[in-house]
Amino acid sequence: MSDNPPIEFEFPSLRRWEAGAAPYIHVKESGKPGPTVMVTALTHGNEVSGAVVVDALLAAGLAPRHGTLIFSFNNIDAYHSFDARTPFKSRMVDEDFNRVWGRLDQPPTTTEMKRALIVKPFVERADLLLDLHSMHDDCVPLMLAGPLDKGVALARRVGTPVDIIRDAGHAAGMRMRDYGGFGDPKSPKNALLIETGQHWRASSVAVAKDVTARFLAESGVVDAADLPAGWRQSTPAQQRVVEVTHAVATKRGNYQSVRPFEGQEVIDKAGTVLGHDDGEPVTTPYDKCVLVMPSSNRPLRAGVTVVRLGRLA
């Protein structure tokens, strides 16, 4: 009996999109002034909801009315390695594609670094970027807006999901959404990363469709009527911003949670014990502490972030 979550939707066959401006990257020009807008999927190869969305938009022939539209399937080799018997292994081939963006000036020694160098000129060209992700565990959707005011403002204009996460990324390496002008408060460039829910839930695809439709309409490169019917979902009554203040990583992979935690769970009291790492207690640093994307309910390895801690802004 498999312990893997069920796969609730069909994975798209993407080899038909290999030929493009670069392999698995498609650029559509309007010939009219406007922003360059990029939508990326498969930054991690087993996060498939975004691939369903990009595949559908390419198949529909979506073209910009203004500016330029770029679609990319990022870690395509990892996607093509997917095996339903070990579905989490296809997250990457050699290393995390979303941690290499701070060292692309170094010789490329991994599949992910080589692919990132192909994707890089298109990312540098983009004024606006939406990076479509999903999650290992069941969790409510989260918009990762980065550390800057401009990211939070864009997330509010998109209008969904409820939770906007203001965070500085990962100590293990720079994310694509923080690269170049996206991470510069003086630059007009802007990026968002959406975590749509558990990787293979049908609801994850629905979230990816909704957010992508809103993002593209907000960008101005297309009209809302150009997008597939039925993709937009109801708008939440309000959004909330959670500012990440701590990222708790396990030293040697020996973290033990005191109980299973849900994502976005609010822990009322400072000093509440969340778990133990090598026997040392991990506690909440303040009252009303929000647990962002806890990963303590699965096997761990040294250095993995087990939970991010945040406060309501």
Q: pLDDT tens digit string along 124-179? A: 999 999 999 999 888 899 999 999 999 999 999 999 999 999 998 877 899 999 99
Residue 5 lies in a domain: no
For residue 3, pLDDT over 80 is answered with: no
182 and 266 in a common domain? no
Residue 235 lies in a domain: no
What mean pLDDT do residues 220-243 have?
A: 96
Q: Which of 195, 226, 257 finishes a domain? A: 226
What pLDDT is recorded for position 69?
Answer: 98
256 and 215 in a common domain? no
Residue 236 lies in a domain: no
The pTM (predicted TM-score) of the whole model is 0.94
Cβ proximity of 30 and 36 under 8 Å: no
Query: What residue numbers bound the domain in which 247 lies?
Result: 243-312
Question: How buried is 11 (Cβ within 10 angstroms: 0-12 exposed, 13-18 middle, 19+ buried)?
Answer: middle
Residue 266 lies in a domain: yes
213 and 66 in a common domain? yes
Under DSSP, the state recorded for 269 is: S
Tally of domains in the chain:
2
* Amino acid residing at 214: R
For residue 199, pLDDT over 70 is answered with: yes
115 and 67 in a common domain? yes
CATH of the domain at 58: 3.40.630.10
Model confidence pLDDT, tens digit, residues 21-65? 999 999 999 999 999 999 999 999 999 999 999 999 999 999 999
Measure the CA–CA gap between 244 and 147, rounded to whole angstroms: 9
**Beta strands per DSSP E along the chain:** 25-29, 36-41, 68-73, 128-135, 142-144, 163-166, 190-198, 240-249, 255-257, 265-267, 273-277, 280-283, 289-292, 305-312
Under DSSP, the state recorded for 66 is: S
Using only C-alpha atoms, the chain has a radius of gyration, in whole angstroms, of: 19
What mean pLDDT do residues 285-308 have?
A: 83
Residue 231 lies in a domain: no
What mean pLDDT do residues 255-273 have?
A: 93
What are the CA-CA distances from residue 78 to residues 75, 81, 96, 131, 167 (Å)? 6, 5, 10, 17, 26
Q: Which of 198, 226, 254 finishes a domain? A: 226
What mean pLDDT do residues 245-262 have?
A: 90
Measure the CA–CA gap between 143 and 195, rounded to whole angstroms: 6
180 and 44 in a common domain? yes
203 and 130 in a common domain? yes
Q: pLDDT confidence of 1, banded at 50, 70, 90?
A: very low
Q: Quick one: tokens of 49?
A: 């909801």
145 and 105 in a common domain? yes
211 and 253 in a common domain? no
Measure the CA–CA gap between 196 and 187, rounded to whole angstroms: 27
3 state SS of 201: coil
CATH of the domain at 250: 2.40.50.100
3 state SS of 241: strand
Cβ proximity of 165 and 144 under 8 Å: yes
114 and 83 in a common domain? yes
78 and 220 in a common domain? yes
206 and 65 in a common domain? yes
